[in-house]
Structure 1
Amino acid sequence: MKWPATIIACALLLCAPLQRPAYAADAAFTQFIASLWPEAKAAGVSRETFDRETRSLEPDYKLPDLILPGRPKTGAPAQAEFVQVPADYIKEASIARLATEGQRLLQKYRSSLDAIEKRFGVPPTIVLAIWGRETDYGRYSLPYDTLRVVATQAYVGRRKDQYRTEFILALKILGEGAVTRKEMRSSWAGATGYTQFLPSEYYKHGVDLDGDGRVDIWHSVPDALASAAQQLVNKGWQAGVRWAYEVTAPANADCTMGVPEVTKPISQWLRAGFVPVRGQKLNATEQAQSASLLQPEGIYGPAFLTTPNYFVIKEYNFSDLYVLFVGHLADRMTSPQPFATPWSASKQLRSADVEAMQQQLTRIGLYKDKLDGKAGMQTRAALGAYQKQAGLKVDCWPSEAVLRAMNGQR
């Protein structure tokens, strides 16, 4: 059947309003961005910079961690640090490749790295390892337009207030000419540069080590590495202290003690039967250091005595596996030895299952941290406490057996 042209035209007109929500949302975004001019002006952004950078700015509704009307809330994408078992995240092949490149870069940037260590007390291998982990020594091309990311997150993200500030400071960076818009690429969360800084971190920790009059974490390796060192120092880095010591745990070790709140001088851990691997001898200064127990796979796999510097690195990325990767990569630049105890073939439960465990542990008073589906230190310790109460094997690891036991109790 052939429809008359007037009917077709009417149908098209009736359908047209269906397109309005997207247009209205974009118009509202434009209005929102325009409303930020007074804050940008107060932060030192010129009208010329503001108009130039926001003139054709559009939101990116495909980003994660947004709250969009009519759509289910989406969280941050599952980071490898939180969904992979250690053997998958800290792959020997990756560590070996990055360590070899790190050894070359130690020589290439020797003078800058020496200056960084002298000024900040952070070993060259640590800042190189952060660079290697964050962007593969600059070889990884960050996929997003930083300004568009922080603008979108400020508009419809779950952390609007934080990203409102990040957007203003991103404009300030562009206005100061530290980097071009084209080169200011980032992760989905807005972290940019060789060592992955948010705009606010750029201003808090940025260092002009090469002396050219500007902080350039996108092209200047000395600036990027010095800025990473400054960030560590600002978060509490202690010069002359290792990040951690790998140890062999005694058979009777209580894995529920593996939380940051339980700290003892390393000498006490040694008297309790924890033995540094490969016959390593710790001097009196090292033994006097305060340390916490870390067993990333519960009673399985390697164990570590972690110093305060461990938790400083963790402020860079709040993941035990991230710190282990960075710390181990740093060690491998000067020693070819892998971890003395191999990682086990443990299976990582789905985040939803771990979160269900956290909910049950919260209900029975054993867990007071975030319900995030991540098997971190607090979750592992709470699981160990539950296993003690339930008469199960105490291994502080979220296994299917423990999940079944909890489901049976419900």
Structure 2
Amino acid sequence: MALDRVPVLRSGVLAALVLTVVAVMIGVPHPACAADAGFTRFIASLWPDAQAQGVPRATFDAETRGLAPDYKLPDLILPGRPATGAPSQAEFVQVPADYVKESSIARLAAEGQKLMAKHRAALSAIETRFGVPGAIVLAIWGRETDYGRYALPYDGLRVLATQAYVGRRKDQYRSEFILALKLIGEGVVTRKDLRSSWAGATGLTQFLPSELYKHGVDLDGDGRVDIWHSVPDALASAAQQLVNKGWQPGVRWAYEVRAPAGADCTIGVPEVTKPIREWLREGFVPVRGQKLSAAEQAQPASLLQPEGIYGPAFLTTKNYFVIKEYNFSDLYVLFVGHLADRMLSPQPFATPWSASTQLRTSAVEAMQRHLTRIGLYGDKVDGKAGMKTRAALGAYQKSAGLKVDCWPSEAVLRSIGTAR
């Protein structure tokens, strides 16, 4: 390049450029390169474990060559930077009326009915083989990826590698990264198709690599488990996961009921379980005059009031908690269970959701910390108003002389602030 064509640089920029060139010439890494050099060494250190898992050397080298971390992902712990939390998942920050939104349920139910007819043979095989209703696995597919219409945004291998390097759950993701390489090496999936969420879940029904190895099913009989393109495989794998986590054939996920006046919302926890007939004797009434058989009444169930004393109430069976193992959120299970019901019946919940508002995650965390200090709460401080948090809030309301509604409201927050 002729010197008269070289652009004029400001002195500071020119100095920085000269220092960078000199650093490269004498072998001193640029700060950004130095940071990624640690990542490169970390990835290289995984080869012995990958080899032990059966990952071919050629696959390991090809897929890790040039692999770079994605430091924009959530849930990372980066040196010199504030710890980043997981993103606010809708299941934990939205009120039920917004999460289990009628317009969304209606749309997905209508589409689910069409898919139920289209995939009738596969769904019948799933119901026969696993005892899981076809509507349930269709609802999981609808919730997870909008029946495959939602394009997963991330390079799954890069996500798993980054989470293994600087994530909050390094050991878990170290294993998931190696298993992802194994999937690629075995020809189960290509790197191009291994798209994922920020947490590394992939496929139509959102599996981590370890879950695919544990629960994957080749229902279409083509010789491989393909949860990315084969709807039968994806739905059967979801059913197998439910079965492996304890699904009971012939048992509903939950029954909507009307709670009697003065019902104690603090007993709405998984630990308080009794046969449905006992709940009925105590005044809980199935909605719309539904009659339960003797077998149904013998089923053990827990009380669920997602909005405390407001909104619908449910008696939840063992299968409710099995679905919750798929995604640990009451609202997720309500969405999946209700969507499955709506594919078979057009009726919405008999009791409408209330106009409640959701406190910020930080406010719920403050509540949980205080409830822990005074011995009313013993679970995770995570800012999520789940069953145990709501029950603990109800116990606090009793002790403080407040209205007992088991809901994290501004009034409870003010009372806790005063008590502290």
TM-score (norm 2): 0.95
For 2:172, the aligned partner's letter is: Q
Q: Secondary structure at the match of 1:396?
A: coil
Distance, in Å, in 1 between the alignment partners of 2:227 and 2:205 is 7
In the other structure, the counterpart of 2:4 is none
1:235-264 Cα distance to aligned partner (Å, 9 max, x none): 000000000000000012000000000001
For 2:164, the aligned partner's letter is: A
Are 1:72 and 2:82 an aligned pair? yes
Deviation at 1:350, TM superposition (A): 0.3
Deviation at 1:125, TM superposition (A): 0.2
Preserved contact between residue 20 and residue 30 of structure 2 (Cα < 8 Å): no
Deviation at 1:9, TM superposition (A): 5.1
For 2:363, the aligned partner's letter is: D
For 2:43, the aligned partner's letter is: I
Query: Paired residue for 1:337, among 344, 347, 351?
Result: 347
Preserved contact between residue 311 and residue 352 of structure 2 (Cα < 8 Å): yes
In the other structure, the counterpart of 2:360 is 350
In the other structure, the counterpart of 2:297 is 287
Are 1:151 and 2:161 an aligned pair? yes
TM-score (norm 1): 0.97
Please list every run of 5 or more consecutive structure 2 residues that lacks an aligned counterpart in the other structure. 1-7
Deviation at 1:328, TM superposition (A): 0.1
Are 1:239 and 2:249 an aligned pair? yes
Aligned pairs for 1:109-124 (under 5 A) are: 109-124=119-134
Distance, in Å, in 2 between the alignment partners of 1:256 and 1:170 is 43
In the other structure, the counterpart of 2:3 is none
1:125-167 Cα distance to aligned partner (Å, 9 max, x none): 0000000000000010000011000001001111110000000
Q: Secondary structure at the match of 2:218?
A: coil
Deviation at 1:11, TM superposition (A): 5.5
Deviation at 1:20, TM superposition (A): 2.8
In the other structure, the counterpart of 1:172 is 182
31-40 or 12-21: which moved more? Answer: 12-21
Please list every run of 5 or more consecutive structure 1 residues that lacks an aligned counterpart in the other structure. none
Distance, in Å, in 2 between the alignment partners of 1:137 and 1:399 is 35
Distance, in Å, in 2 between the alignment partners of 1:14 and 1:71 is 26
Query: Residues 325, 9 of structure 1: CA spacing in aligned structure 2 closer, same or farther, 3 A cutoff?
Result: closer
Query: Residues 5, 279 of structure 1: CA spacing in aligned structure 2 closer, same or farther, 3 A cutoff?
Result: closer
Query: Residues 204, 6 of structure 1: CA spacing in aligned structure 2 closer, same or farther, 3 A cutoff?
Result: closer
Distance, in Å, in 1 between the alignment partners of 2:71 and 2:128 is 45
Are 1:389 and 2:388 an aligned pair? no
Q: How many residue pairs align between the two structures? A: 408
Distance, in Å, in 1 between the alignment partners of 2:298 and 2:232 is 34
In the other structure, the counterpart of 1:203 is 213
Distance, in Å, in 1 between the alignment partners of 2:307 and 2:228 is 36
Are 1:363 and 2:394 an aligned pair? no
Query: Residues 406, 196 of structure 1: CA spacing in aligned structure 2 closer, same or farther, 3 A cutoff?
Result: same
Are 1:57 and 2:78 an aligned pair? no
Query: Paired residue for 1:301, among 286, 311, 314?
Result: 311
Query: Residues 44, 399 of structure 1: CA spacing in aligned structure 2 closer, same or farther, 3 A cutoff?
Result: same
Distance, in Å, in 2 between the alignment partners of 1:238 and 1:364 is 38
Query: Residues 329, 4 of structure 1: CA spacing in aligned structure 2 closer, same or farther, 3 A cutoff?
Result: closer
For 2:190, the aligned partner's letter is: T
For 1:343, the aligned partner's letter is: W
1:25-59 Cα distance to aligned partner (Å, 9 max, x none): 11111111111111111111101111111112111
Preserved contact between residue 219 and residue 232 of structure 2 (Cα < 8 Å): yes
Distance, in Å, in 1 between the alignment partners of 2:243 and 2:327 is 15
In the other structure, the counterpart of 1:189 is 199
Q: Secondary structure at the match of 1:140?
A: coil
Query: Residues 182, 392 of structure 1: CA spacing in aligned structure 2 closer, same or farther, 3 A cutoff?
Result: same
For 1:283, the aligned partner's letter is: S
Query: Residues 409, 113 of structure 1: CA spacing in aligned structure 2 closer, same or farther, 3 A cutoff?
Result: same
1:66-115 Cα distance to aligned partner (Å, 9 max, x none): 11111000111010000000000011110000000100011111111000
Are 1:26 and 2:36 an aligned pair? yes
Query: Residues 276, 4 of structure 1: CA spacing in aligned structure 2 closer, same or farther, 3 A cutoff?
Result: closer
Query: Residues 51, 12 of structure 1: CA spacing in aligned structure 2 closer, same or farther, 3 A cutoff?
Result: closer
RMSD of aligned Cα (Å):
1.7
Are 1:129 and 2:139 an aligned pair? yes
